[in-house]
Structure 1
Amino acid sequence: MELRHLRYFVAVAEELHFGRAASRLFIVQPSLSQQIRQMEEELGFPLLKRTKRSVELTDAGRVFFVSAQNILAQVQEAKRAALRAYRGEVGRLVVGYISSSTYDLLPAMLRAYRERFPHVEVALRELTTPTQVKALEENELQIGLMRLPISTPLVNVEVVRREPIVCVLPEEHPLAARKRIAMPMLAHEPFVLQSRQHGGGYYVQLMKLCLSAGFSPNVVQEVTETHTIVGLVAAGIGISLVPQSIRNIRSEGIVYRELEGTATMTEIALAWRRDAQHSAIVQNFLTVARETIMRM
Structure 2
Amino acid sequence: MNIEHAREFLALAQCLNFTEAACDLNMTQPALSKHLAALERELGAKLVERTRKSIQLTEEGRIFFETCGIIVNQYDKMQLALDEIKTARPLRIGGRFDDADVATLMSMTAMMHRNAHRSSLAFARSEGHDALDALERGEIDLYIDYANPARLKERKLSFRPFVSNPLVAIVGSDHGLAHRAHIEWEDLRNETLVKFVSDKTNPAWEQIEELCLAHGFAPKTRPVSSLNDVEFFSTPLHGSVLIWKRTQKQIGLLLETGQRACVPLASEDARITAYLVFRPTDEARLASLFEAIDEAKTLIEKRKRREDDPL
Q: TM-score, normalised by structure 1?
A: 0.55
User: CA 1:192 to 1:103, structure 2 compared with 1: closer, same or farther past 3 Å?
Assistant: farther
Tell me, yes or no, if the aligned pair for 2:209 and 2:218 is still in contact at 8 Å.
Answer: no
Secondary structure, counterpart of 2:289 in structure 1: helix
Deviation at 1:221, TM superposition (A): 0.7
Equivalent in 198, 219, 244 of residue 216 of structure 1:
219
Identity of aligned residues (%): 15
Alignment match, 2:278: 272
Q: Greater shift after overlay, 133-142 or 203-212?
A: 203-212
User: CA 1:122 to 1:214, structure 2 compared with 1: closer, same or farther past 3 Å?
Assistant: closer
CA distance, structure 2, for counterparts of residue 255 and residue 110 of structure 1: 36
Q: How does 1:21-100 map to 2 (within 5 A)?
A: 88=87, 91-98=89-96, 99-100=98-99
CA distance, structure 2, for counterparts of residue 107 and residue 286 of structure 1: 14
Deviation at 1:180, TM superposition (A): 1.0
Tell me, yes or no, if the aligned pair for 1:145 and 1:269 is still in contact at 8 Å.
Answer: yes
Tell me, yes or no, if the aligned pair for 1:196 and 1:203 is still in contact at 8 Å.
Answer: no
User: CA 1:103 to 1:139, structure 2 compared with 1: closer, same or farther past 3 Å?
Assistant: closer
Tell me, yes or no, if the aligned pair for 2:102 and 2:163 is still in contact at 8 Å.
Answer: no
User: CA 1:176 to 1:249, structure 2 compared with 1: closer, same or farther past 3 Å?
Assistant: closer
What is the aligned length?
209
Secondary structure, counterpart of 1:219 in structure 2: strand
Give the gaps of 5 or more residues in structure 2.
1-80, 301-311
Deviation at 1:206, TM superposition (A): 2.4
CA distance, structure 1, for counterparts of residue 283 and residue 268 of structure 2: 37
Larger strand share, 1 or 2: 1
CA distance, structure 1, for counterparts of residue 295 and residue 178 of structure 2: 39
Secondary structure, counterpart of 1:256 in structure 2: strand
CA distance, structure 2, for counterparts of residue 126 and residue 272 of structure 1: 14
User: CA 1:208 to 1:287, structure 2 compared with 1: closer, same or farther past 3 Å?
Assistant: closer
Tell me, yes or no, if the aligned pair for 1:166 and 1:244 is still in contact at 8 Å.
Answer: yes
CA distance, structure 1, for counterparts of residue 262 and residue 123 of structure 2: 33
CA distance, structure 2, for counterparts of residue 216 and residue 114 of structure 1: 44
Alignment match, 2:56: none
Alignment match, 2:298: 294
Tell me, yes or no, if the aligned pair for 2:93 and 2:121 is still in contact at 8 Å.
Answer: no
User: CA 1:113 to 1:204, structure 2 compared with 1: closer, same or farther past 3 Å?
Assistant: same
Deviation at 1:284, TM superposition (A): 3.0
Give the gaps of 5 or more residues in structure 1.
1-81
Alignment match, 2:171: 169
Alignment match, 1:206: 208
CA distance, structure 2, for counterparts of residue 170 and residue 112 of structure 1: 42
Q: TM-score, normalised by structure 2?
A: 0.53
Q: How does 1:45-194 map to 2 (within 5 A)?
A: 88=87, 91-98=89-96, 99-100=98-99, 101-102=101-102, 104-117=104-117, 120=120, 122-128=122-128, 130-147=129-146, 148-149=148-149, 150-171=152-173, 173-186=175-188, 189-194=191-196
Secondary structure, counterpart of 1:175 in structure 2: coil
Deviation at 1:142, TM superposition (A): 0.7
Secondary structure, counterpart of 1:180 in structure 2: coil
CA distance, structure 1, for counterparts of residue 210 and residue 85 of structure 2: 46
